[in-house]
A and B are shown apart, each in its own frame.
Chain A
Amino acid sequence: MGLIEAMSVVKIYKGRIEEMKIAIPVEDKAMESRVCISFGRTPFFLIYDTETNSSVFLENSAAGSQGGAGIKAAQIIVDSGANAIITPRCGENAAAVLKAANIKLYKTVNDIIADNIKAFNEGTLSLLNEIHAGFHGGHL
C-alpha cells in the first residue's frame, strides 16, 4: 500500500469514528439517569452522538413485550442508526440482531452514563463477551 492510499484509509477510518452513534439502555430520559441492567426491557435508550455530543432518548417499546423483548429492542437500536451499544448484559437473540447489523457490543464500566461515554471516547471499554441465554419472560 502506498503512502497516499494509507493516508486515505486512515481518513475514512477517522471519518467513521467521528460519526459514531452509541446506544445505552437507561432508566430515565436524562443524562444524570443510570444505566439500566436490562437490555431488552430497559425503559429508554440513550442514543449519543460522539461527534456532536448530542443525545436523544428513545422509548423502548419492547419493554412490555410478552416474549422476544431482546429482538425487538435490538431492532430499535438497528433502526436508530447506532454503530455501537454499551450495555451491562445482552441476551443471545438480541446479540444476533446487533451482530447481523454490525453493531459493536461493549460492556459498561459502571451504571453512570457519563463515565461510560468517557471510557468509550478514550477507547478503554472492553467488548461484551458474555452473551447470556436469555431470561425468557415469555415462558415458551
Chain B
Amino acid sequence: MKIAVLSGKGGAGKTLVAVNMAAASKNAVYIDCDVEEPNGHLFFKPEGLYTQNVVVKTPELNPSKCNGCRKCIDFCRFNALAYIGEKIKVFDEVCHSCGGCILLCPQKAMLERDRVIGRIETGISHNVKVITGILNTGEASGVPIIRRMLDSISEEDTFIIDCPPGSACVVMESIKDADFCILVAESTIFGAHNLAMVYELVGLFDKPFAAVLNKYTDDDNPSELFCSKKHIPVLAKIPFDKELGELNSNAIIAVREKREYKLLFEELLAKVYQEVRP
C-alpha cells in the first residue's frame, strides 16, 4: 500500500504525519520526495546508509559535425538549446532528457552524456526503511530523483510518501502511483486556501483521499469548514500541543516517545487501510 502525504504549503505538518505514520506501522518504507529540502531523515537518523547517484542524460554537441541546420532547436519544446555564433548552447537545467535532439540530428552531432543531479540515500531506523531523495543545489527539477525512488517500490509493504509542498510537477510525480492521499492542513485561512489547491490536484488524479487536521484547536477552523463543505473525511485531528511541538522541533519521533501519539497514528493508519481495503 502506497500512502502519499501532501499539503499545499510548507509547514502544515506533512513530515510530522508521514514520519509518525511510518513509525507507527509494523514495517514501513518512508520515502522523502521533498528532494529540495528532505528532512525526514533528521527524525529517523537512519543507519547503514547506502548512497546512489541519480543521473540524467543531457545532450552535448560535437561542434565539428554540426552544420547549423537547427533541427534540434526547432524540435526542443522546452527551449533548452540556442544557436549562437555557429555553436549550439545547451541549457542543462532546462533540458528534460527526452533525447529528441540526439535522435533527430542529421549530422549525428549531438552526443549523450550522463549528468549527476542528486542522490538517493537508503538506511534503516528500527522498523522503518528510510529512503531520502536529495537534489543538488542549483538543479531545477527533482522529478528524475522522485521517479527513481518510486519506481523501485513493490506492493507488499506499507510505503509512506512524504511529498514536496505545493501542487506542481514534483508533487504530481510523487502521488502518481499512490493508493491513497492524505491532505494535511492547518487551521488558518491560508491553510484552507492551500488545502483547496491539493484537493483539486488529487481530484484531477482521481485518487482516494482524506484530510488530517494539524495544530487543531476548538477555535474556528477554516480547513475543517472546507472539509465539511466538500464532504472530505477527516481521519485525524492532531492537537495544537506544546509538548508535540517541542518533540518535533528536537527531531524526536512522537510515536516512539509518547503512548497517546502512538495510538493516534496507529488509529490513523488503520483508518487509511479501512478506506483502501474495506
Contact = CB atoms under 8 A, between A and B. Distances in A.
A96 B140 CA distance: 16
Interface string B67-94: 0000001001111111111000101011
B168 interface: yes
Contacts, number: 55
Contact of B140 (A69, A75, A100, A136): A136
Query: Secondary structure of the B side of the interface?
Result: loop
B141 A101 contact: no
A67 B78 contact: yes
Interface string B159-199: 00000000011000000000000000000000000000000
Nearest to B166: A139
A100 B169 contact: no
Interface residues of B, number: 21
Contact of A78 (B82, B93, B169): B82
B73 A75 contact: yes
Interface residues of A, number: 20
Contact of B80 (A62, A71, A74, A136): A71
Interface in A77-95: 78, 93
Contacts of A62: 79
Interface of B: 73, 76-85, 89, 91, 93-94, 96, 140-141, 143, 168-169
For the complex of A and B, 10 pairs with smallest distance between CB atoms: A68-B79, A140-B141, A72-B79, A140-B140, A71-B79, A100-B84, A139-B168, A101-B84, A97-B82, A68-B94
